[in-house]
Amino acid sequence: MILTMDIGNASVVVCCAENGRRLCRFQLASDKTRTTDEYAAYMTLLAKSGGMELSRAAGAIIASVVPQLTAVLAPAVQRCTGHAPLIVGPGVRTGLNIRMDDPTELGGDLAAAAVAAAERYPLPCILVDMGTATAVGVIDEKGSYIGGLICPGVGLSQSSLARSASQLPDVSLEKPKRVIGKNTRDSMQSGLIHGAAAMLDGVLERVETELGMPAASVVVTGESAGVIVPNCRRGGISIDEDLVMYGLWRIWRRNRGAD
């Protein structure tokens, strides 16, 4: 068993994985005011509630887009598992051929998702990570990561509307009964949900046009996937909440000489 950790701007997703299979999963808030001690205590308690003892882990790996939190969470992981975590970044072998101007710009979370998608889904593959930002990555028919695009995430759009428009309320991400809202709350929910779904439909179409061929698979992960993807008009989109976890498990094995 190893511990995988995906540190994002809004939340930290922690999984215990064995042979590429998730044993337990829990989330922590991405709170920069918390200490290493606090995070270690939370992780230990939440893992125990899932029937896991983190001290039994054979290793740990972290993908992070928040360096400040990495500095706090990496020692917390070491305290819980007894192992210094492998942190995805320059010098770490992913096995992924990254065809970008600067391969080091690819975030560890998206790199892990791409490693998993290239192994688990038909190629070419478009992968989408719907977190604070909606990050779209493209893997060509040879398994190379050739680039992508980054859009504001639905949660970011939600909070920005409530914060920047004084007369608009803060609404939950729930699908309203109709596209044409009859009140402010329903109108905002419709705009957030259907707007994000329409954006995803349009982006997928434009990516395929530039590729010159249809994607053999489209896989979406991230906290907003479950509420947005069912409202897309395009069919055949897979939701895989364990995509990053599996990719991190695979990268850990590759760097330990197991693959």
**Cβ proximity of 229 and 239 under 8 Å:** yes
- Which helix H or strand E contains 111, and what residues bound it? helix 108-120
Catalytic residue (choose from 109, 129, 240, 242): 109
Rounded distance between C-alpha atoms, residue 135 and residue 128, angstroms: 6
**Cβ proximity of 85 and 78 under 8 Å:** yes
Rounded distance between C-alpha atoms, residue 127 and residue 31, angstroms: 27
Rounded distance between C-alpha atoms, residue 57 and residue 232, angstroms: 39
Task: Say whether 84 sits in a helix, a strand or coil.
Answer: coil
Place of tokens 């939440």: 46
AA letter at 182:
K
Mention every residue, 6+ apart, whose C-beta is less than 8 A from residue 213: 124, 141
Rounded distance between C-alpha atoms, residue 180 and residue 178, angstroms: 5
| Strand 86-87 to 59-64 pairing | parallel
Nearest-CA neighbor of 118 among 258, 14, 240? 240
Centre a 10 Å sphere on the Cβ of residue 99 and count the other Cβ atoms it contains.
Answer: 13
Known catalytic residue: 109?
A: yes
Could you give the residue numbers annotated as active site?
Answer: 109
